Chains A and B, each alone.
Chain A
């Protein structure tokens, strides 16, 4: 069960006093066509990078708000997980990156015709962001624009 009891006392106290960012108004884009005709992209906050990409910056105060593009044809097992949090067990997604970046699963869905297609690139970010202002204002809008330019219809977002 994912609850805060998994975390250290220090983390639990931090979360207890944390001011969560309420999305208001809540934007809403209804599905415009059957999923079998939709292009899907993934967004994972597990901090995955492909070999050769710059890792997320662990020293970034408030959390690194940058994104990495992960190509759909990446070799799943070569993805490097660079999430900085020590508050959870990383071994599962290191063993199988699909646990938090399910690229193999969505390729199977496209083959089966459940979705129309898999976008040629996906987004990876560092979820451990305590000060999300830069993410909201500076980095998420251009990252989202990349997927819009790709003709992406739907996105599945996976935290860890």
Chain B
């Protein structure tokens, strides 16, 4: 349910003029709920930014999410897969 909850909050933020990107752990939820920008990550639940105690791997996921905010070619709803290095 967490995946849907952040999507719904993101939608409200966008309505009020804040650009958003959500991490998603279930691709099919993003496909059904349609958050404005979503980065699907291939990690298990509880581990949305990959690994505890590993700043580099966490930062890599965040950077991929930020790149979605910067991509002028994206249109709503935008869903991208994170390719873990």
Q: Chain A interface (Cβ within 8 Å of chain B)?
A: 1-4, 6, 20-24, 26-32, 35, 41, 43, 45-46, 63, 83, 85, 87-93, 95-96, 98-100, 102, 104-106, 108-109, 114-115, 123, 125-130, 132, 135-136, 140-141, 143-145, 147-148, 152-160
Contacts and interface: CB of A to CB of B under 8 A. Distances in A.
B50 to A, nearest CB: 8
A157 B44 contact: no
Contacts of A21: 4, 8, 33
Given A2-B44, A88-B45, A89-B45, A135 B58 contact: no
A95 B41 CA distance: 20
A28 B14 contact: yes
12 contacts: A20-B32, A21-B8, A43-B6, A63-B5, A92-B46, A102-B58, A102-B62, A105-B59, A135-B5, A154-B69, A156-B21, A160-B2
A135 B46 contact: no
Contacts of A95: 52-53
Interface string B66-85: 10011010011100000000
Nearest to B66: A35
Interface of B: 1-26, 29, 32-36, 41-53, 55, 58-59, 62-63, 65-66, 69-70, 72, 75-77
A41 B44 CA distance: 24
Contact of B22 (A1, A46, A159): A159
Closest A-B pairs by Cβ, 9 of them = A127-B2, A2-B25, A88-B45, A159-B2, A96-B52, A27-B14, A157-B6, A26-B76, A140-B12
Given A21-B4, A26-B11, A35-B70, 16 more contacts: A27-B36, A29-B18, A29-B20, A92-B51, A96-B53, A99-B48, A102-B58, A104-B55, A129-B4, A135-B8, A144-B12, A144-B15, A147-B13, A152-B18, A156-B65, A158-B49
